[in-house]
Structure 1
Amino acid sequence: MSGIDDDWPDSDAGNAAGDDELAWETRDSEIDYSCPGFDVRRDGVVLPDGTETEHHHVEEGGAVVVLPFLPGGDEVVLIEEWRQPVRRLNRGLPAGGVEDQDDDLRKAAARELREETGYEAERFEHLCTTEPVNGIADSVHHTFVAHGCEPTATQELDHNESIRTQTVAYDDLVEAVGRGDVRDGRAVLAVSRYEL
């Protein structure tokens, strides 16, 4: 027995707004605040019990996350980046936003890997797609595993990025995730999912 009902949903089918008694009705919607990188949207909603209220959430759209393995598969490329909201250096994985012209998420992953690290990969495989904070944001993260990564270019960082690259043994990264030494959610999820 798996512990999960046979009717556990395996996709978004049937979960669209209005298809379930738990769905909220959106009466109106507008952007309350915009800045580079994201917007804050205010929705006027009606809850299932008839209560009318407002819900605010961050709109930032899609992103790609890359777990990059060097040739041989024993080492990975990590980035160290300053994260202002938590006011500390963060060790994690290359990642970045999906742009309007990105018709292929693998190309977006290749671009972010190259721009943030200067590495390029032989091939990419899709690992998972997740909604990391869907209670407060519409973010969708598409995580890829990159194989055969080699340093072939120089970093092309955005004006507000402070990033340093390093290579570490993959087993050390797994141990660091297990100990809680790596706190970046994208890195923890990618490693955990890859290990599963």
Structure 2
Amino acid sequence: MAESDLAWETRDRDVAYSCPGFDVVHEDVVLPDGTETDFDYLHEEPAVVVLPFTPDGEVVVIEEWRQAVDRVNRGLPAGGSEEDDADLDATARRELTEETGYVADDVEFLGAYEPANGIADTVHHYYVATGCTPNGEQDLDFDESIRVDTTDLATLRSAALSGGKSDARTALAVLRYEAERERKR
């Protein structure tokens, strides 16, 4: 069976709802068997997730209130691209500084993943930032409540592997980073 045999035909598309950060898109579609229906999904600009290391090997993390799950989340700096960003490397650097006040000597692309492609067109681009020092100025968005901390990679790995309520972006970044290090050995 060819991929095209599974494809849906989009007949109409409009933005049903828009807010800072994302849109909800509504589409009228035809399924491969001819069934006409509709489909809604979240549209978001490309985003970055940054795994930032200080010169002494600590990982810079943020603690942020997450209203959707009604708790503080401990994770990595992340955010969407903006018009002024030259590229996603620049987005990674900007988001790191805006959320933490840390500035990176270097950023390196780690991989890109679709975290919820059944309900969103979001793509997260993962970066490793090294030589991170608190030489910048934190510049939070109006709806961000963030506290900055540092921890060791082993602690983040344990949280990722525990199967508890850990931030999926952070878990994927840490496990992908460690898999890449293992592959290079």
Report the TM-score when normalising by structure 2.
0.92
- Aligned partner of 2:67 in structure 1 is 84
- Aligned partner of 2:51 in structure 1 is 67
Using the TM superposition, give the Cα deviation of residue 195 of structure 1 relative to its aligned residue in structure 2, in angstroms. Answer: 1.2
SS at match of 2:160: helix
- Aligned partner of 1:161 in structure 2 is 144
- Aligned partner of 2:101 in structure 1 is 118
Q: Aligned Cα RMSD in Å?
A: 1.4
- Aligned partner of 2:133 in structure 1 is 150
- Aligned partner of 2:182 in structure 1 is none
Q: Structure 1 or 2: larger helix share?
A: 2
The reply to whether residue 34 of structure 1 matches residue 18 of structure 2 is yes
Worse-matched range after superposition: 98-107 or 136-145: 98-107
Residue of structure 2 aligned with 1:140, choices 123, 130, 137 = 123
Q: How many residues are aligned here?
A: 178
User: Could you tell me how far apart the structure 2 residues matched to 1:65 and 1:182 are?
Assistant: 18
User: Could you tell me how far apart the structure 2 residues matched to 1:131 and 1:191 are?
Assistant: 16
User: Could you tell me how far apart the structure 2 residues matched to 1:99 and 1:136 are?
Assistant: 22
Using the TM superposition, give the Cα deviation of residue 184 of structure 1 relative to its aligned residue in structure 2, in angstroms. Answer: 0.8
- Aligned partner of 1:24 in structure 2 is 8
Using the TM superposition, give the Cα deviation of residue 153 of structure 1 relative to its aligned residue in structure 2, in angstroms. Answer: 2.0
Check the 8 A contact 2:108/2:128 in 1, yes or no: yes
- Aligned partner of 1:11 in structure 2 is none
The reply to whether residue 190 of structure 1 matches residue 173 of structure 2 is yes
- Aligned partner of 1:170 in structure 2 is 153
Structure 1: tracts of 5 or more residues without a match: 1-17
Check the 8 A contact 1:182/1:188 in 2, yes or no: no
Instruction: Report the CA distance shift for 1:81/1:100 in structure 2 as closer, same or farther (over 3 A).
Output: same
User: Could you tell me how far apart the structure 1 residues matched to 2:139 and 2:165 are?
Assistant: 25
Using the TM superposition, give the Cα deviation of residue 176 of structure 1 relative to its aligned residue in structure 2, in angstroms. Answer: 1.9
User: Could you tell me how far apart the structure 2 residues matched to 1:123 and 1:181 are?
Assistant: 32
Q: Match for 1:51: what amino acid? A: T
Structure 2: tracts of 5 or more residues without a match: 180-185
Q: Match for 1:186: what amino acid? A: R
Q: Match for 1:76: what amino acid? A: V
- Aligned partner of 2:183 in structure 1 is none
Q: Match for 1:130: what amino acid? A: Y
Q: Match for 1:55: what amino acid? A: F
Check the 8 A contact 1:91/1:182 in 2, yes or no: no
User: Could you tell me how far apart the structure 2 residues matched to 1:154 and 1:61 are?
Assistant: 24
